[in-house]
Structure 1
Amino acid sequence: MYTLQNTGMDVHVIECSVLETAFQRMDDGLAVDLTILDLQMPGYHGLDSLRAMRGRRPEVPVLVLSGNEDPAIVRECIDLGAYGFVPKSAPSDQFHAALSLVLSGGVYLPPTSLSVGMPATRAQQDAWSRLGAHLTERQRQVLLGIVQGKPNKVIARDLGLSDTTVKSHVAHILDALVVSNRTEAVYALARAGVSIRDLQASSPDSVF
């Protein structure tokens, strides 16, 4: 099992053997910057623990740790809003790199998953530079919601927009990134090295 003591980071680690204990601690006021979640939590099956964490604490970034390296599982975790995925078989330096990236606002994906189903075309390599230069502040907020795994209805509610407006923004973003769905958009951003903080930065464009 990985340790956090030799990462060189100033971190305070609280370990919970069951998810309900973590929820109780956070409900009692514990401030958490990141949750490192093992998918094999007691009382949960498959991705249910991630669904529970995202449902109860959607504001807390989640880095998934799992013995299942199936790229389809990685993609499903990202689709549910995880900010990163590390296989348990990965070397410690890969875990430390993932931890550092997610804590700094990035999305970490294992190298093997980046090549599955998403060839690195020139169009996709150049997509973020084009999209980033033309995002309105509202579109940036919608894209942040996509990365956080929020459905359109939740994004609409959070931003005070209609479902139709959010759907239009999402369609524009997917088209600009040369991808066909939300998960591939997250992969494209990860390829481009775009972080959550980049999306949170203010845009000089108008809000629509």
Structure 2
Amino acid sequence: MPEILIADDHPLFRDALSRAAAQALPAVDLFQADSVPALLALVESHANADLLLLDLQMPGARGFSALAHLRGHYPQLPVIIVSAHEEADVARRALAHGAAGYVPKSMAGENIVEAIHAVLDGEVWLPSQLSGGSAELRGNEAMLAGRIAELTPHQFRVLGMVADGLLNKQIAYELGVSEATIKAHMTAIMRKLGCNNRTQVALAASQLTLDPGNVIAVDE
């Protein structure tokens, strides 16, 4: 039986996506996550899922970082972004980061059904008002996305918490591990992202936000 994963932090919209998925595939197993940490655990336990419906704005990630991480670890998993953002630029960046479709949350359920059918058939789906133009990434964005894809799931969780301003001691408490373990993760994160300190790590995480004004340079 096909498996579809649904990741959104709003219960009502998870329900709406579930209904659309069930309409697209009457015989389907649906699995939900309400945060990026929950999503990472879900994808790990359902690595052969047929499709992921992913909200860009969820606790534990910023902008396209979760998409970049998942595409690096699960390139076989098609991802449809379902977002409140309706800008064509955001949709094209999502495709450039490896999404197979982009659905604004304002669209009707039948549009989500159409997108699911198209992506499962191997196509790329965009609503007509967002189509056209090239799917390109700015500056160092592609390079940083590649580096984020190299992070382990644990390192990616730590990165999200650093971006949220948490200290090592707070992260250790939240994850139930020692502060020494977090320091080891931070060392690996800085090496993989090409950063020299914690501030650079937090700034690098902001490069994949949806606001182009937040994009900063990362050392080559």
TM-score, scaled to structure 2: 0.49
Instruction: Say whether residues 1:98 and 2:115 are aligned partners.
Output: yes
CA drift of 1:29 comes to 5.4
Report the equivalent of 2:63.
46
Which one of 95, 98, 119 corresponds to residue 78 of structure 1?
95
Identity %: 29
Which one has a larger percent strand, Structure 1 or Structure 2? 2
SS in 2 for 1:6: helix
CA RMSD after TM alignment: 2.3
Number of aligned positions between the proteins: 120
Residue identity in the other structure for 1:47: F
Choose the corresponding residue for 1:10, options 5, 27, 31.
27
Give the distance between the partners of 2:46 and 2:94, measured in 1 at CA.
27
**Structure 2 portions without partners, runs of 5+:** 1-12, 135-141, 147-220
Aligned to 1:201: none
Q: Which residue of 2 aligns with 1:65?
A: 82
Mapped to 2, the partners of 1:48 and 1:80 lie a distance apart of 9
C-alpha distance after superposition, 1:57-113 (max 9, x if no partner): 222110000000100001000001100000000011111100111112111011111
Q: Are 1:36 and 2:53 an aligned pair?
A: yes
Is 1:109 aligned to residue 126 of structure 2?
yes
Amino acid of the structure 2 residue aligned with 1:34: L
Give the match's secondary structure for 1:25.
Answer: helix
Counterpart of 2:78 in structure 1: which amino acid?
P
One-letter identity of the residue aligned with 1:63: I
Distance 2:105 2:46 in 1: 30
In structure 1, the residue matched to 2:36 is 19
Normalised by the length of structure 1, the TM-score is 0.52
Change (3 A) 1:14 1:93: same
